[in-house]
Amino acid sequence: MRGPHNIWRLVRTGATLERTGAMNVVLDAFQAPASLRIVAKTLGWPFKWAGLKGDPSMPPATRALTALGPAYIKFGQILSTRPDVVGDELALQLRVLQDKLPPFTLEEARKTIEAELEIPVDELFSELGPPVAAASIAQVHKGRVAGGDGAVAVKVLRPGIEKAFRKDIDAFYLAAWIVEIFAPGSRRLRPLDVIEHFEGVVRGELDLRLESAAAAEFAANTGKDDGLQVPDVRWLLSSRRVMTLDWADGIPAGDVAAIDAAGHDRRLLGERVLRLFLQHALRDGYFHADMHQGNLKIAPNGDIILLDFGIMGRIDQYTRRVYAEILFGFIRKDFRRVAEVHFEAGYVPADRDVDEFARALRAVGEPIFGMDASRISMGRLLNYLFEVTERFGMETRTELILLQRTMVVVEGVARSLNPHINIWEVARPVVEDYIKESIGPKAFLRDIADTARVAARFGPRLPQLAEELLIQQSDRGPERRRLAGVTPLIWMGIGGGLVAVGVVLGALL
C-alpha cells in the first residue's frame, strides 16, 4: 500500500492545488521563497489537467483540501487556527473545514444508525433532524430519544471514510520517505515516525466506541473544573460508527460577533481556554487534543463546552514535569535552567554546549516578554525555533507531537478571542501551582510512596527472581564463583531499599 504507486497521489496533490488556484494562495501565505515557488510550479503546472476540480463555490484553498480528502482537511483545520502564520484571509477561508463541510444525506445516516444499533431509527429516536455540523470524518444530527426528554447529538461516521483515510496516509508515508532520502538533514525530525503517530491518532477517531470512552474519562477528570462543560455519553445509543451525547446549547467559539452580541467577555474566554488546556495537560496528563473553534462552544453562562473527543493526548508524569519546568523557566526567564532541562531529558544530544543552547533560547524568549500577542509574528518565531533545533541536533519527540500541536491550536483559538492575550501571564499561575505540587518535598515523598507500592507488588516474587539469577550464574561456568559473590550484595541492596522505604512510610504515617 505504501509503494511507488502513491507517487501519482502526490503529483495529483500538486496538480489539485494548481487547478483550484490554491497553489499561489498557499505559497503567499507561507511567504515561500522564490526557489520553492519555482519548484512547486514546475511540479504542479504540467499535471494541472489531472488535478481534482473540487467545489467551485468554495475559496481556492478550502476547495483543494476538501477535494483531496480527510487527512488534508485535518491539516487545514490546524492552519485555520493560526492567522498569525497563514494570514487572516486564509485562516478565515479554512475555518469552514472545522464543521461546515458538505454533509452526506440524512438517509445515509439513518442506514448507518440502523446497521450499527440493529434497531429501526424510529424506535430509537422520536426526532432525527438534518445534519447541523459536518467535519472531515463525521457529521452531527440533532435528535430526541424515543420516550425520553431532552435533545441529543448523534454523531455518524462518513460512509467509506476508512478507505479514504488509508489512501491519504499511504501517500503521506511515501512523501515522508522521499523527504528522508533526499533531505538527510530532515531525519532528525523523524518524518516517518510523525506520520505513524498521526495515523494512530486519527485511526482512533474512526472508532466511536473509543471516543465515547475518551469522553467519559475526560468528564471524570474534569468534573470539578470551573468554567467547563462536557456532555454525557448515551452508551446504549453508541457503537463503532455512531455516538450519542446530550445536546449542548451554545455559541460556536469562532462566531466572534455572536459572542459579543451575547455580552460575553472575550478576554476572559481566551484566558479560560488556554488555562483549561494547561490544567488538563499538567494536572491530569490527559487532554483534549483537537481544541479548534469547531469543537468549542460558549454556554449562556460563559462556560467553555468541549465537543468531539476523537483525538486525545496522554503524557506520563515525568514528561509533564519536564514540560512544566520548561514553561516555568521561560516564564521566569531562567533560560539556563530551560537548557539544562532539555539536556537532562535527553532532548538535546549530550555533546552539545549547554551555554550556547541557553543563549539560543534567550534569543527566542526575550523578545516576546512584555509584548501582547498582536505584536508577535508567530511565523517568524517558529522559523527561528526550527533553526535552533536544527543547529543543536534535536530530534522530534513523537510523544510530544500532540502536546505541541495542541498548544499551537489552543493559542490560536485564544488569540481569535483576545488578540492581545499574553500567553505567558495566563500560563504562570497554572504552571506555578503544578510546580508546587509536583516538584518539591511533597512530590518527593509521594514518589517514594509510589516506589514502595511497586516494590510491595514484586515482594512475593523476590525468592523466584533470586533463584532464576542463581541458575543463570551456574550456567555461566568460569564466571560462577565471581558472580556468586555478587548475590549477597544484591540481596543486601534489596533489603536496604525496602528498609529505607519502610522508614519513610513510617514517618509519613
Q: Would you list the DSSP string of 180-206?
A: HHH-GGGGGG-HHHHHHHHHHHHHHHT
What residues pair up with 243 in beta bridges, in sequence order? 155
Tell whether 351 and 497 lie within a shared domain.
Answer: no
Angle at 348 between CA 404 and CA 391, to 5 degrees: 90
The amino acid that residue 446 corresponds to is R
Tell whether 93 and 116 lie within a shared domain.
Answer: no
Question: Percentage of residues in the chain with pLDDT exceeding 90?
Answer: 28
Tell whether 37 and 115 lie within a shared domain.
Answer: no
With bands split at pLDDT 50, 70 and 90, how would you rate the model's confidence at 144?
very high
Q: Count how many domains the chain has.
A: 4
With bands split at pLDDT 50, 70 and 90, how would you rate the model's confidence at 185?
low
- Looking at per-residue pLDDT, the higher value among 340 and 497 belongs to 340
Tell whether 457 and 487 lie within a shared domain.
Answer: yes
- Cα–Cα dist 436/442, whole Å: 9
- Looking at per-residue pLDDT, the higher value among 228 and 435 belongs to 228
- Cα–Cα dist 48/16, whole Å: 7
* Cβ 337 vs Cβ 329: under 8 Å: yes
What are the residue ranges of helices labelled H in 301-396? 317-331, 335-344, 354-365, 378-391
- Cα–Cα dist 3/6, whole Å: 6
- Cα–Cα dist 99/82, whole Å: 17
Domain end (from 439, 455, 481): 439
Tell whether 267 and 412 lie within a shared domain.
Answer: yes
**DSSP-derived secondary structure for 75-90:** HHHHHTT-HHHH-HHH
- In terms of Cβ atoms closer than 10 Å to its own Cβ (0-12, 13-18, 19+), residue 409 is buried
Tell whether 503 and 454 lie within a shared domain.
Answer: yes
Tell whether 20 and 63 lie within a shared domain.
Answer: yes
Domain end (from 247, 281, 312): 247
- Give the domain range for residue 153: 102-135+137-247
pLDDT in tens, 263-297: 999 999 999 999 999 999 989 999 998 888 889 99
With bands split at pLDDT 50, 70 and 90, how would you rate the model's confidence at 364?
confident
Q: Which of 290, 308, 316, 334 is catalytic?
A: 290
Beta strands 304-306; 242-246: pairing state:
unpaired
Tell whether 324 and 420 lie within a shared domain.
Answer: yes
Q: What is the DSSP letter of 61?
A: H
Tell whether 184 and 236 lie within a shared domain.
Answer: yes
Weakest mean pLDDT among 39-53, 176-190, 324-338, 484-498: 484-498
Q: How far is CA 426 from CA 157, 329, 430, in A?
A: 37, 15, 8
What residues pair up with 304 in beta bridges, in sequence order? 228, 298
Q: How far is CA 102 from CA 55, 106, 110, 441, in A?
A: 10, 12, 17, 55
> Which cell goes with 186?
530532515
* Residue whose entry in the numeric block shows the C-alpha cell 492545488: 17
The pLDDT of residue 496 is above 70:
no
Task: Give me the pLDDT at residue 387, please.
Answer: 66
* Cβ 350 vs Cβ 343: under 8 Å: yes
Tell whether 297 and 344 lie within a shared domain.
Answer: yes
Domain end (from 99, 126, 154): 99
Query: Is residue 290 among the annotated active site residues?
Result: yes
Q: What is the DSSP letter of 374?
A: G
Tell me the CB-side half-sphere exposure of residue 383, using CA atoms within 13 A.
10
- Cα–Cα dist 406/408, whole Å: 5
With bands split at pLDDT 50, 70 and 90, how would you rate the model's confidence at 505?
very low
Weakest mean pLDDT among 10-19, 53-62, 386-395, 488-497: 488-497
- Cα–Cα dist 248/426, whole Å: 27
Nearest CA to 412 out of 100, 84, 90, 99 is that of: 84
H and E: helices and strands count for the chain: 25, 10
